[in-house]
A = this chain, B = another copy of it.
Amino acid sequence: MTIHPSSIFQDVEKIRKNAPLVHNITNYVVMNTTANALLAIGASPVMAHALPEVEDMAAIAGALVINIGTLSDAWIEAMFKAAKIAKSRQIPIVLDPVGAGATPYRTRTARELIRAAAPSIIRGNGSEIMALCEEGRTTKGVDSTSASDQAIDAAKALSRDLDCVVCVTGAIDYIVSQKAMVQIKNGHAMMPRVTGLGCTATALCGAFAAVNPAYDKAAAHAMAVMGIAGEMAAEHAPGPGTLQVNLIDSLYRLTEADITERLKM
């Protein structure tokens, strides 16, 4: 699989034109940031988790994003219900297994969601992707204790077993599908110091997958856009507070030239 700046930007233009509805069942910490990132790139985000409405919302969405960052039992039930509808409608489902490996509850929930929802794309950091595959692997909280390249084998196994795209993000992002593996080297060292940028990358996968049925490309395009916007944001950011704000601006202003000049594969 090769990734062209022009095809990345075609997806961006489709998102801006169609404003796909991205239904997020996500964590409290990042809701504001991910909603703003989706709006900035041109999508229409909605956050909805109540059992009486998740199915109706999934029924009108262009993509479903499930993120277990602050999960609890009622929310998990909503995730399963929404995923069932999304699956029946064949819209993309994107899963972010936040903190898998940190507690048995998260690891178990992430695995059960994967089995039931058959997500189109899974995006996590190295620790999380490894925790989805390996019994007994544990990690610390929600920050990765492993580099992304340590998780490549796990990502390949997951992708093969589930027939889905797996993104392992870190200093290098790996987008693994049955067919190929793409590396994207954009991004900035300060990005892990902003909460929820992994979750934001996941949310962007939802927007891209809503307009591009080749989910491996959609995921790679989303990771490229996230990394490039992060780089642009960091150039004028004295710290992670400003980076978070600038990132939203960069997503909003992103041009084809930005992508062409900056894409590092």
Contact = CB atoms under 8 A, between A and B. Distances in A.
Interface of A: 19, 21, 23, 27-33, 35-36, 39-40, 44-53, 56-57, 60-61, 69-74, 99, 102-106, 138, 140-143, 190, 192-196, 237-242, 244-253
Nearest to A141: B46
A208 to B, nearest CB: 18
A73 to B, nearest CB: 7
Contact of A39 (B193, B248, B253): B193
Given A45-B195, A141-B46, A103 B56 contact: yes
Contacts of A35: 29, 195-196
Contacts of A71: 50
Contact of A238 (B50, B190, B249): B249
B49 A72 contact: yes
B40 A241 contact: yes
A74 B138 CA distance: 27
A31 B192 CA distance: 17
Contacts of A45: 141-142, 195
Nearest to A253: B239
Given A21-B140, A28-B47, A47-B28, A239 B244 contact: no
A190 B194 CA distance: 24
Highest count of chain B CB atoms <10 Å: which of A104, A194, A239, A253: A239
A241 B244 contact: yes
Given A29-B47, A39-B195, 9 more contacts: A36-B195, A48-B70, A48-B103, A49-B70, A60-B141, A61-B141, A241-B244, A242-B246, A244-B248
A41 B249 CA distance: 24
A32 B196 contact: yes
